[in-house]
Amino acid sequence: MIKYKYYDDNYHMGVLMNEIVNVVTHNNGRVSRKKVKASPYEFTIATRAKWEMLIADEDVTIGAGKLEKVKVKEIIVQKDMLAMPCAFSHHPVVSVIKVKTRDGPSPIETDRIVNSAFVLGQESGEIKKGDLLSVLNLYPIMFTREASRPVEVM
C-alpha cells in the first residue's frame, strides 16, 4: 500500500480531518481572503477522458522565459471533471503551464469556463489568434467517500 504523508497525518479513525485554509481570490481588482474549513478529497479517475483544444483568442508577443496570460476560446468544463494541460508542447514558441476560469477559483462540483491560459515562452516570438496552444485533458472523477463541502468560518 502506498503511504501519503499528508493523507496519513490527517486520517484519524476512518475520518479525514478538516483544516482551516484561506481561499484567495480577486474581488473588484483586490486580493481577498476567506477562511474556510475544508478537508482532502478521495476520488477515482475514469479510464475514459476527453481532449479539448486550447486555442489563442488574441495576438501576444512573448519573450523567452517570460510568463504571460493569454485569452483562449472558451471551454466549458463540466462539474466533476479534472482538467490538466497536456505534458507535450503543441506550439513551437510557448508551453501552457496552467489554465484560468472566467469566474476564478471554483469547486470541482461546479461547471467552470476556461477563458485564459498561462504560457511560458520557450523562445521569443509571437502567438497569433487561432494558434493551437495545447490540449486540455479532461478526466471525469467520482468521489470514493462523501466529500465535505468547504464551509466559511469567521
Domain spans of the chain? Answer: 5-152
Please answer whether residues 132 and 69 qualify as being in contact, where contact means their C-beta atoms are separated by less than 8 angstroms.
Answer: no
Summarised one tens digit per residue, pLDDT across range 21-74 is 888 887 788 888 989 888 777 788 888 899 999 999 999 999 999 999 999 999
Residue 124 pLDDT > 70: yes
Interatomic CA distance for residues 97 and 119, integer angstroms: 6
| CATH code for the part of the protein at 5-152 | 2.70.40
Please answer whether residues 32 and 26 qualify as being in contact, where contact means their C-beta atoms are separated by less than 8 angstroms.
Answer: yes
| Cell digits of residue 8 | 496519513
